[in-house]
Amino acid sequence: MINTIIFDLDGTLLNTLEGLKNSTNFALKKFNSPEITLEQTRSFVGNGVRKLIERAIQNGEQNPDFEKCLNTFKEHYSKTMYQKTVAYDGIEDMLTELKKRGVKTGVVSNKFDTAVKELCKNYFDGLIIVAIGESPNVRKKPAPDSVLKAMKILGAKPENTLYVGDSDVDIQTAKNSNLKSVGVTWGFRDRELLEKEGADFIINTPCELLELI
């Protein structure tokens, strides 16, 4: 019986793509690097903001302005992240129903930790029990570290837990955490990739998760 579900955030619960693009381009423009498109942003996200900027800026980490660009992105995104962020249709209803059923919920993301906590509180206050983002000295997904930490806080067992996400990183994270994975098709990656990565289940709408459990 499934009594715990851990979610990815960007591309799974929240559509953050436009905001990420805007903050990336704000930083790139400041350091005279070409701006990126929405589709480029889509392909660059998933491995944390450091990797996003590495992929976006000319010459990556070798760029002498890389660290300044990364910090500029973080500052800008922290101030503007609510402007272009929306929950996907049906997410709040799904989380509300999970709470009614007594299912424990958490979020584990490669987005920086303060943003993860603030976004979850702003959009899903009372519906997400624990929210964990990227922080120093903790390996990012697909390493299982943060998922295992969330499970410990929630008192969850692998056989009773699902991990839900939209990307190859999420499917790999579930495998590394010894959890069954649920891939969602409404996010930043497509069904073909989720199938290729070996998602245990694939759903097209949030309500299908309720049917699945």
Other beta carbons within 10 angstroms of residue 201's beta carbon come to: 16
Angle at 209 between CA 203 and CA 210, to 5 degrees: 150
Instruction: Please name each of the domains of the chain with its CATH number.
Output: 4-15+85-212 (3.40.50.1000), 17-80 (1.10.150)
CA 195: distance to chain centroid? 19
Retrieve residue 78's tokens: 């922290």
- What pLDDT does 101 receive? 97
Among the residues of the chain, which ranges form H helices?
A: 17-30, 38-44, 49-56, 66-80, 91-100, 113-124, 145-154, 168-176, 191-197, 207-212
- What pLDDT does 56 receive? 97
- What pLDDT does 46 receive? 85
- What pLDDT does 136 receive? 87
- Looking at the DSSP assignment, which residues form a beta bridge with residue 181? 163
Q: Are 105 and 6 in contact (CB under 8 A)?
A: yes
Question: Any idea what DSSP says for residue 179?
Answer: -
Going 148 to 152 to 157 to 163, the CA torsion angle's sign is negative
pLDDT under 50 in the chain at which residues? none
Question: Any idea what DSSP says for residue 140?
Answer: P
Instruction: Kindly give, in sequence order, each residue whose CB lies less than 8 Å from that of residue 160, ignoring residues fewer than 6 positions away.
Output: 1, 2, 3, 4
145-173 pLDDT, tens digit each? 999 999 999 999 999 999 999 999 999 99
CA 185: distance to chain centroid? 14
Is 0.85 surpassed by the pTM of this model? Answer: yes
